[in-house]
């Protein structure tokens, strides 16, 4: 008669159990590949005389499509001039899906608000383009919903909302110097630390002190106030000044 016992850590003990008389290993609680892609547990076999041996059992958890794409951020705002030609993407939507492979591969689609075909979205990159610029001035505000779908057909539970405001000529629009900024910060960074800079293009071109993000400024392009990190999170890829503001609060000065 041999007795089997599990000698794993807390996670393994919570998720697995070994039947003491047979050595069969059973699952006790739901597994999640996205949290723990594998479990490795030592199993001790002890005979009646007290002699024992140990074997390591590795449980590899394979993926199922149990995550929907999630937009982050969910809301996007951009302002375009009615009298200016639009070249390239006007913003980039970002949705992430925690699953692996095709289960985590996201495609983008405009689900509503684009009846006249004014806009088009790159299904792979999420970049939004103006497809018919001549129709842009027909409305001062275009509101679109965008859906993200993984390659197995699971859709985002909540659409992204895009507001495109069309401004008349003569009204200066704040525009980020670059459409996209990447800021790397340590997770241990304290609150209210300046972590990077976003700059209005007009301000940048007239500046004599340089415009690099290395200046460690984070300026609100509309108000010119520095932005500081108010939450201990690393923002995902920000695409517009509005997106930036979802993750950076405007610090009062
Ligand atoms: Ca998925
Ligand atoms: Ca999964």
- Predicted TM-score of the model (pTM): 0.66
Residue 125 has which token pair? Answer: 């990159």
Residues 6+ apart with CB under 8 A from 21: 1, 3, 4
User: By the 8 A CB rule, do 14 and 35 touch?
Assistant: no
Give the structural domain span for 24.
3-60
User: 68 alpha carbon to ligand 1 midpoint, in Å?
Assistant: 5
Verify that 13 and 75 share a domain, yes or no.
no
Residue 220's pLDDT band (cuts 50, 70, 90): very low
User: By the 8 A CB rule, do 151 and 107 touch?
Assistant: yes
More confident residue, 181 or 18: 18
User: 41 alpha carbon to ligand 2 midpoint, in Å?
Assistant: 22
User: 222 alpha carbon to ligand 1 midpoint, in Å?
Assistant: 37
As a residue count, the chain comes to 253
Ligand nearest to the CA of 69: 1
Verify that 90 and 169 share a domain, yes or no.
yes
More confident residue, 110 or 228: 110
Question: Is the residue at 244 inside a domain?
Answer: no
Answer yes or no: is pLDDT of 222 > 90: no
Supply the CATH number for residue 42's domain: 2.60.40.60
Answer yes or no: is pLDDT of 81 > 90: no
Answer yes or no: is pLDDT of 212 > 90: no
Q: What is residue 181's predicted lDDT score, i.e. its pLDDT?
A: 81
User: 71 alpha carbon to ligand 2 midpoint, in Å?
Assistant: 17
Verify that 13 and 103 share a domain, yes or no.
no
User: 143 alpha carbon to ligand 2 midpoint, in Å?
Assistant: 32
User: 63 alpha carbon to ligand 2 midpoint, in Å?
Assistant: 5
């Amino acid at each position: 008669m041999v007795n089997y016992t599990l000698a794993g850590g807390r996670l393994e003990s919570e998720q697995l159990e070994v039947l003491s008389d047979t050595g069969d290993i059973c699952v006790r609680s739901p597994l999640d590949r996205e949290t723990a892609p594998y479990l490795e547990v030592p199993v001790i076999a002890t005979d009646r005389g007290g002699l024992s041996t140990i074997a390591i059992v590795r449980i590899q958890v394979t993926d199922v499509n149990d995550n929907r794409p999630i937009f982050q951020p969910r809301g996007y705002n951009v302002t375009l001039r009615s009298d200016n030609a639009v070249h390239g993407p006007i913003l980039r939507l970002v949705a992430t899906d925690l699953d692996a492979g095709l289960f985590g591969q996201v495609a983008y689609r405009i689900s509503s608000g684009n009846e006249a075909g004014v806009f088009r979205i790159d299904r792979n990159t999420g970049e939004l383009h103006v497809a018919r610029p001549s129709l842009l001035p027909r409305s001062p505000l275009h509101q679109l919903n965008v859906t993200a779908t993984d390659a197995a057909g699971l859709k985002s539970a909540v659409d992204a909302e895009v507001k495109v405001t069309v401004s008349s000529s003569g009204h200066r629009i704040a525009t980020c110097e670059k459409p996209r900024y990447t800021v790397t910060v340590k997770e241990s960074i304290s609150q209210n630390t300046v972590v990077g800079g976003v700059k209005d293009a007009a301000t940048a071109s007239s500046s004599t002190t340089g415009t690099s993000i290395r200046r460690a400024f984070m300026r609100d392009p509309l108000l010119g106030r520095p932005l500081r990190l108010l939450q201990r999170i690393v923002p995902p890829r920000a695409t517009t000044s509005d997106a930036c503001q979802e993750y950076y609060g405007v610090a009062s000065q």
